[in-house]
Structure 1
Protein backbone atom coordinates (compact mmCIF):
# COMPACT_ATOMS: atom_id res chain seq x y z
CA UNK A 1 0.00 0.00 0.00
CA UNK A 2 1.41 3.41 -0.95
CA UNK A 3 1.29 6.37 1.39
CA UNK A 4 -1.03 9.25 0.63
CA UNK A 5 0.71 12.27 -0.87
CA UNK A 6 1.66 14.98 1.58
CA UNK A 7 -0.92 17.75 1.55
CA UNK A 8 0.12 20.97 -0.11
CA UNK A 9 0.63 24.12 1.95
CA UNK A 10 -2.61 26.09 2.23
CA UNK A 11 -1.22 29.08 0.34
CA UNK A 12 -0.25 26.87 -2.63
CA UNK A 13 -3.61 25.05 -2.58
CA UNK A 14 -5.41 28.42 -2.51
CA UNK A 15 -3.27 29.65 -5.39
CA UNK A 16 -4.20 26.53 -7.34
CA UNK A 17 -7.91 27.01 -6.60
CA UNK A 18 -7.71 30.47 -8.14
CA UNK A 19 -7.27 28.89 -11.59
CA UNK A 20 -11.00 28.10 -12.10
CA UNK A 21 -11.89 31.56 -10.76
CA UNK A 22 -9.45 33.36 -13.08
CA UNK A 23 -10.59 31.17 -16.00
CA UNK A 24 -14.20 32.11 -15.35
CA UNK A 25 -13.52 35.83 -14.95
CA UNK A 26 -11.66 35.71 -18.27
CA UNK A 27 -14.46 33.82 -19.98
CA UNK A 28 -17.17 36.14 -18.63
CA UNK A 29 -15.70 38.83 -20.87
CA UNK A 30 -15.92 36.46 -23.82
CA UNK A 31 -19.48 35.34 -23.03
CA UNK A 32 -20.68 38.93 -22.66
CA UNK A 33 -18.88 40.43 -25.64
CA UNK A 34 -18.56 37.69 -28.29
CA UNK A 35 -21.89 38.26 -30.04
CA UNK A 36 -21.72 42.07 -30.28
CA UNK A 37 -18.07 41.84 -31.32
CA UNK A 38 -18.75 39.23 -34.01
CA UNK A 39 -21.61 41.33 -35.39
CA UNK A 40 -19.28 44.29 -35.78
CA UNK A 41 -15.86 42.66 -36.19
CA UNK A 42 -16.43 39.57 -38.35
CA UNK A 43 -16.61 41.51 -41.65
CA UNK A 44 -13.15 42.99 -40.98
CA UNK A 45 -11.82 39.53 -40.08
CA UNK A 46 -13.33 38.12 -43.29
CA UNK A 47 -11.52 40.78 -45.29
CA UNK A 48 -8.11 40.36 -43.61
CA UNK A 49 -8.19 36.67 -42.64
CA UNK A 50 -10.82 34.83 -44.73
CA UNK A 51 -9.79 31.33 -43.59
CA UNK A 52 -9.95 32.36 -39.92
CA UNK A 53 -13.35 33.97 -40.48
CA UNK A 54 -14.69 30.74 -41.99
CA UNK A 55 -13.34 28.80 -39.00
CA UNK A 56 -15.00 31.21 -36.54
CA UNK A 57 -18.28 31.26 -38.43
CA UNK A 58 -18.28 27.47 -38.79
CA UNK A 59 -17.52 26.72 -35.16
CA UNK A 60 -18.62 29.08 -32.41
CA UNK A 61 -19.63 32.08 -34.53
CA UNK A 62 -23.04 30.69 -35.35
CA UNK A 63 -23.90 29.70 -31.80
CA UNK A 64 -26.38 31.53 -29.63
CA UNK A 65 -25.08 33.19 -26.49
CA UNK A 66 -26.66 30.47 -24.28
CA UNK A 67 -24.97 27.74 -26.35
CA UNK A 68 -21.63 29.54 -26.17
CA UNK A 69 -22.08 29.89 -22.39
CA UNK A 70 -22.73 26.13 -22.25
CA UNK A 71 -19.28 25.49 -23.77
CA UNK A 72 -17.68 27.75 -21.16
CA UNK A 73 -19.64 26.07 -18.35
CA UNK A 74 -18.50 22.63 -19.51
CA UNK A 75 -14.87 23.81 -19.62
CA UNK A 76 -15.25 25.39 -16.16
CA UNK A 77 -16.50 22.09 -14.72
CA UNK A 78 -13.56 20.20 -16.23
CA UNK A 79 -10.97 22.74 -15.02
CA UNK A 80 -12.57 22.72 -11.56
CA UNK A 81 -12.59 18.91 -11.37
CA UNK A 82 -8.99 18.64 -12.55
CA UNK A 83 -7.96 21.34 -10.08
CA UNK A 84 -9.72 19.44 -7.29
CA UNK A 85 -7.95 16.24 -8.35
CA UNK A 86 -4.57 18.00 -8.49
CA UNK A 87 -5.02 19.60 -5.05
CA UNK A 88 -6.39 16.40 -3.47
CA UNK A 89 -3.54 14.30 -4.91
CA UNK A 90 -0.91 17.03 -4.42
CA UNK A 91 -0.20 16.63 -8.13
CA UNK A 92 1.56 19.82 -9.13
CA UNK A 93 2.52 18.39 -12.52
CA UNK A 94 -1.10 17.96 -13.59
CA UNK A 95 -2.06 21.38 -12.29
CA UNK A 96 0.93 23.16 -13.84
CA UNK A 97 0.07 21.51 -17.16
CA UNK A 98 -3.46 22.97 -16.86
CA UNK A 99 -2.01 26.33 -15.92
CA UNK A 100 0.39 26.33 -18.86
CA UNK A 101 -2.43 25.31 -21.22
CA UNK A 102 -4.46 28.27 -19.98
CA UNK A 103 -1.41 30.53 -20.26
CA UNK A 104 -0.82 29.54 -23.90
CA UNK A 105 -4.54 30.14 -24.55
CA UNK A 106 -4.12 33.66 -23.12
CA UNK A 107 -1.06 34.29 -25.27
CA UNK A 108 -3.13 33.32 -28.32
CA UNK A 109 -5.75 35.90 -27.32
CA UNK A 110 -3.07 38.55 -26.93
CA UNK A 111 -1.83 37.56 -30.39
CA UNK A 112 -5.40 37.97 -31.73
CA UNK A 113 -5.49 41.47 -30.27
CA UNK A 114 -2.15 42.34 -31.88
CA UNK A 115 -3.25 40.93 -35.25
CA UNK A 116 -6.64 42.68 -35.12
CA UNK A 117 -5.14 45.96 -33.85
CA UNK A 118 -8.48 46.49 -32.14
CA UNK A 119 -10.54 45.21 -29.23
CA UNK A 120 -11.19 41.48 -29.17
CA UNK A 121 -13.57 40.14 -26.49
CA UNK A 122 -10.87 38.67 -24.27
CA UNK A 123 -8.14 41.29 -24.23
CA UNK A 124 -9.19 43.11 -21.07
CA UNK A 125 -8.83 39.99 -18.93
CA UNK A 126 -5.98 38.22 -20.78
CA UNK A 127 -3.05 40.30 -19.41
CA UNK A 128 -4.07 40.05 -15.73
CA UNK A 129 -4.90 36.35 -16.15
CA UNK A 130 -1.49 35.78 -17.78
CA UNK A 131 0.14 37.62 -14.87
CA UNK A 132 -1.65 35.25 -12.46
CA UNK A 133 -0.29 32.26 -14.41
CA UNK A 134 3.28 33.56 -14.26
CA UNK A 135 2.96 34.42 -10.56
CA UNK A 136 1.48 31.02 -9.69
CA UNK A 137 4.22 29.15 -11.56
CA UNK A 138 6.88 31.32 -9.92
CA UNK A 139 5.41 30.77 -6.42
CA UNK A 140 5.22 27.01 -6.88
CA UNK A 141 8.75 26.94 -8.28
CA UNK A 142 9.97 28.66 -5.08
CA UNK A 143 8.84 25.67 -2.98
CA UNK A 144 8.97 22.84 -5.52
CA UNK A 145 11.47 23.31 -8.33
CA UNK A 146 9.62 22.70 -11.56
CA UNK A 147 10.75 20.10 -14.09
CA UNK A 148 9.82 22.25 -17.10
CA UNK A 149 10.39 19.60 -19.81
CA UNK A 150 8.01 17.29 -17.94
CA UNK A 151 5.45 20.12 -17.51
CA UNK A 152 5.56 21.03 -21.20
CA UNK A 153 5.15 17.34 -22.15
CA UNK A 154 2.08 17.11 -19.90
CA UNK A 155 0.90 20.45 -21.29
CA UNK A 156 1.03 19.05 -24.82
CA UNK A 157 -1.14 16.13 -23.69
CA UNK A 158 -3.55 18.53 -21.95
CA UNK A 159 -3.66 20.70 -25.10
CA UNK A 160 -4.59 17.68 -27.22
CA UNK A 161 -7.38 16.84 -24.77
CA UNK A 162 -8.56 20.48 -24.83
CA UNK A 163 -8.84 20.42 -28.63
CA UNK A 164 -10.79 17.15 -28.55
CA UNK A 165 -13.00 18.42 -25.72
CA UNK A 166 -13.64 21.74 -27.47
CA UNK A 167 -14.76 19.95 -30.63
CA UNK A 168 -17.12 17.80 -28.55
CA UNK A 169 -18.38 20.83 -26.61
CA UNK A 170 -19.11 22.74 -29.84
CA UNK A 171 -21.06 19.73 -31.13
CA UNK A 172 -22.97 19.62 -27.82
CA UNK A 173 -23.64 23.37 -28.02
CA UNK A 174 -24.96 23.08 -31.59
CA UNK A 175 -27.34 20.36 -30.39
CA UNK A 176 -28.33 22.59 -27.48
CA UNK A 177 -29.02 25.44 -29.93
CA UNK A 178 -31.26 23.13 -31.98
CA UNK A 179 -33.08 22.11 -28.80
CA UNK A 180 -33.48 25.78 -27.82
CA UNK A 181 -34.90 26.60 -31.23
CA UNK A 182 -37.41 23.78 -30.95
CA UNK A 183 -38.51 24.53 -27.39
CA UNK A 184 -37.79 28.22 -26.87
CA UNK A 185 -37.53 29.78 -30.34
CA UNK A 186 -38.73 33.20 -29.15
CA UNK A 187 -36.11 33.28 -26.35
CA UNK A 188 -33.04 32.90 -28.58
Structure 2
Protein backbone atom coordinates (compact mmCIF):
# COMPACT_ATOMS: atom_id res chain seq x y z
CA UNK A 1 0.00 0.00 0.00
CA UNK A 2 1.51 3.30 -1.10
CA UNK A 3 1.52 6.21 1.37
CA UNK A 4 0.67 9.61 -0.08
CA UNK A 5 0.83 13.14 1.29
CA UNK A 6 -0.13 16.62 0.09
CA UNK A 7 1.27 19.82 1.61
CA UNK A 8 0.09 23.10 0.11
CA UNK A 9 -0.11 26.84 0.64
CA UNK A 10 -3.32 27.17 -1.41
CA UNK A 11 -6.33 25.78 0.43
CA UNK A 12 -7.97 24.42 -2.73
CA UNK A 13 -5.12 21.95 -3.17
CA UNK A 14 -6.01 20.49 0.23
CA UNK A 15 -9.67 20.26 -0.79
CA UNK A 16 -8.77 18.31 -3.93
CA UNK A 17 -6.21 16.09 -2.20
CA UNK A 18 -8.73 15.10 0.48
CA UNK A 19 -11.54 14.45 -1.99
CA UNK A 20 -12.55 11.28 -3.77
CA UNK A 21 -11.55 7.71 -3.17
CA UNK A 22 -8.72 7.06 -2.94
CA UNK A 23 -7.47 10.36 -1.53
CA UNK A 24 -4.17 11.43 -0.01
CA UNK A 25 -3.36 9.72 3.30
CA UNK A 26 -2.12 12.96 4.85
CA UNK A 27 -3.33 16.41 3.79
CA UNK A 28 -1.76 19.59 5.19
CA UNK A 29 -2.84 23.13 4.38
CA UNK A 30 -0.64 26.01 5.51
CA UNK A 31 -2.94 28.59 7.07
CA UNK A 32 -2.38 32.22 6.02
CA UNK A 33 0.33 33.92 8.03
CA UNK A 34 -0.30 37.41 9.49
CA UNK A 35 1.58 40.30 7.86
CA UNK A 36 2.44 38.18 4.82
CA UNK A 37 1.23 40.12 1.76
CA UNK A 38 3.43 38.22 -0.71
CA UNK A 39 2.84 34.76 0.83
CA UNK A 40 6.57 34.27 1.36
CA UNK A 41 6.07 33.34 5.01
CA UNK A 42 3.28 30.92 4.22
CA UNK A 43 5.38 29.24 1.53
CA UNK A 44 8.31 29.01 3.95
CA UNK A 45 6.01 27.25 6.43
CA UNK A 46 4.89 24.87 3.68
CA UNK A 47 8.52 24.08 2.88
CA UNK A 48 9.17 23.48 6.61
CA UNK A 49 6.31 20.96 6.65
CA UNK A 50 7.68 19.23 3.54
CA UNK A 51 11.15 18.94 5.07
CA UNK A 52 9.63 17.55 8.27
CA UNK A 53 7.60 14.99 6.30
CA UNK A 54 10.69 13.85 4.43
CA UNK A 55 12.54 13.39 7.69
CA UNK A 56 9.71 11.47 9.33
CA UNK A 57 6.63 10.10 7.54
CA UNK A 58 8.55 9.56 4.32
CA UNK A 59 5.60 9.03 1.97
CA UNK A 60 5.92 7.13 -1.29
CA UNK A 61 4.46 10.18 -3.04
CA UNK A 62 4.60 13.71 -1.69
CA UNK A 63 2.91 16.59 -3.51
CA UNK A 64 4.08 20.05 -2.44
CA UNK A 65 2.58 23.35 -3.59
CA UNK A 66 4.09 26.84 -3.20
CA UNK A 67 1.84 29.74 -4.13
CA UNK A 68 3.70 33.05 -4.02
CA UNK A 69 4.76 33.13 -7.68
CA UNK A 70 1.14 32.81 -8.78
CA UNK A 71 0.14 35.42 -6.20
CA UNK A 72 2.75 37.86 -7.55
CA UNK A 73 1.67 37.16 -11.12
CA UNK A 74 -1.93 38.05 -10.35
CA UNK A 75 -1.10 41.19 -8.38
CA UNK A 76 1.89 42.54 -10.31
CA UNK A 77 2.34 40.63 -13.58
CA UNK A 78 5.16 38.46 -14.86
CA UNK A 79 7.26 41.45 -15.95
CA UNK A 80 7.41 42.84 -12.41
CA UNK A 81 10.18 42.83 -9.84
CA UNK A 82 7.74 41.25 -7.37
CA UNK A 83 7.31 38.28 -9.73
CA UNK A 84 11.05 37.69 -10.21
CA UNK A 85 11.64 38.07 -6.47
CA UNK A 86 8.97 35.44 -5.80
CA UNK A 87 10.62 33.07 -8.29
CA UNK A 88 13.97 33.49 -6.51
CA UNK A 89 12.42 32.85 -3.10
CA UNK A 90 10.64 29.72 -4.32
CA UNK A 91 13.85 28.53 -5.95
CA UNK A 92 15.53 28.72 -2.54
CA UNK A 93 12.65 26.80 -0.92
CA UNK A 94 12.86 24.11 -3.59
CA UNK A 95 16.58 23.93 -2.81
CA UNK A 96 15.74 23.22 0.84
CA UNK A 97 13.37 20.45 -0.18
CA UNK A 98 15.95 18.92 -2.53
CA UNK A 99 18.52 18.97 0.30
CA UNK A 100 16.03 17.15 2.55
CA UNK A 101 15.46 14.51 -0.13
CA UNK A 102 19.22 14.06 -0.51
CA UNK A 103 19.66 13.73 3.25
CA UNK A 104 16.95 11.07 3.42
CA UNK A 105 18.36 9.20 0.43
CA UNK A 106 21.82 9.18 2.00
CA UNK A 107 20.41 7.82 5.26
CA UNK A 108 18.22 5.25 3.52
CA UNK A 109 20.12 3.91 0.49
CA UNK A 110 17.37 1.36 -0.21
CA UNK A 111 14.98 4.18 -1.15
CA UNK A 112 14.86 5.68 -4.65
CA UNK A 113 13.80 9.33 -4.94
CA UNK A 114 12.76 11.38 -7.96
CA UNK A 115 11.88 15.08 -7.84
CA UNK A 116 9.56 16.68 -10.40
CA UNK A 117 9.14 20.46 -10.48
CA UNK A 118 6.62 22.31 -12.63
CA UNK A 119 4.02 25.09 -12.71
CA UNK A 120 0.45 24.95 -13.94
CA UNK A 121 0.64 28.10 -16.09
CA UNK A 122 2.42 31.39 -16.66
CA UNK A 123 1.15 34.97 -16.39
CA UNK A 124 0.66 37.96 -18.62
CA UNK A 125 3.27 40.71 -18.17
CA UNK A 126 0.53 43.03 -16.89
CA UNK A 127 -0.92 40.36 -14.58
CA UNK A 128 -3.36 37.48 -14.62
CA UNK A 129 -3.79 34.42 -16.81
CA UNK A 130 -6.44 32.33 -18.49
CA UNK A 131 -5.70 33.00 -22.15
CA UNK A 132 -3.55 31.29 -24.74
CA UNK A 133 -0.69 33.79 -25.07
CA UNK A 134 2.88 32.44 -25.01
CA UNK A 135 3.42 34.15 -21.65
CA UNK A 136 0.51 32.21 -20.16
CA UNK A 137 1.06 28.82 -21.79
CA UNK A 138 4.86 28.48 -21.83
CA UNK A 139 5.93 26.12 -19.08
CA UNK A 140 8.59 23.71 -17.88
CA UNK A 141 9.08 20.37 -16.19
CA UNK A 142 12.30 19.61 -14.31
CA UNK A 143 13.08 15.98 -13.40
CA UNK A 144 15.84 14.90 -11.05
CA UNK A 145 16.42 11.27 -10.23
CA UNK A 146 18.22 8.05 -11.16
CA UNK A 147 16.08 7.50 -14.28
CA UNK A 148 16.96 10.85 -15.85
CA UNK A 149 20.30 11.71 -17.43
CA UNK A 150 21.78 15.02 -16.23
CA UNK A 151 21.59 17.81 -18.78
CA UNK A 152 19.18 16.12 -21.17
CA UNK A 153 16.20 18.00 -22.58
CA UNK A 154 12.89 17.08 -24.16
CA UNK A 155 11.16 20.05 -25.78
CA UNK A 156 7.95 18.09 -26.33
CA UNK A 157 7.25 17.59 -22.62
CA UNK A 158 4.34 19.39 -20.96
CA UNK A 159 2.76 19.37 -17.47
CA UNK A 160 0.11 16.91 -18.73
CA UNK A 161 2.93 14.35 -18.76
CA UNK A 162 3.42 14.60 -14.99
CA UNK A 163 0.68 12.13 -14.01
CA UNK A 164 1.79 9.32 -16.36
CA UNK A 165 5.39 9.91 -15.29
CA UNK A 166 4.51 9.57 -11.60
CA UNK A 167 2.47 6.41 -12.28
CA UNK A 168 5.40 4.97 -14.22
CA UNK A 169 7.93 5.81 -11.51
CA UNK A 170 5.70 4.17 -8.89
CA UNK A 171 5.34 1.10 -11.13
CA UNK A 172 1.58 1.66 -11.42
CA UNK A 173 0.15 0.73 -14.79
CA UNK A 174 -1.11 3.82 -16.59
CA UNK A 175 -3.97 3.65 -19.04
CA UNK A 176 -4.29 4.86 -22.59
CA UNK A 177 -7.04 7.21 -21.39
CA UNK A 178 -4.44 9.61 -20.02
CA UNK A 179 -3.63 12.58 -22.26
CA UNK A 180 0.09 12.68 -21.45
CA UNK A 181 2.97 10.23 -21.66
CA UNK A 182 5.63 9.12 -19.21
CA UNK A 183 8.80 11.19 -19.43
CA UNK A 184 10.82 8.33 -17.99
CA UNK A 185 13.18 7.12 -20.72
CA UNK A 186 12.29 3.69 -22.12
CA UNK A 187 15.88 2.55 -21.69
CA UNK A 188 17.41 4.10 -18.60
CA UNK A 189 21.09 3.98 -17.70
CA UNK A 190 22.38 1.94 -14.80
CA UNK A 191 20.80 3.56 -11.80
CA UNK A 192 23.10 5.77 -9.82
CA UNK A 193 22.86 6.00 -6.07
CA UNK A 194 19.78 8.03 -5.16
CA UNK A 195 22.04 10.32 -3.14
CA UNK A 196 23.98 11.31 -6.26
CA UNK A 197 22.77 14.54 -7.83
CA UNK A 198 21.05 13.77 -11.16
CA UNK A 199 19.36 16.91 -12.46
CA UNK A 200 17.69 16.86 -15.85
CA UNK A 201 15.68 19.59 -17.45
CA UNK A 202 12.63 18.71 -19.50
CA UNK A 203 11.36 21.82 -21.21
The higher relative CO (CA closer than 8 Å, separation ≥ 6) is in 1
Q: Does the alignment reach a TM-score above 0.5?
A: no
Bigger Rg, which one: 1
Q: Which of the two has greater helix per residue?
A: 1
Q: TM-score, normalised by structure 1?
A: 0.28
Q: Which of the two has greater strand per residue?
A: 2
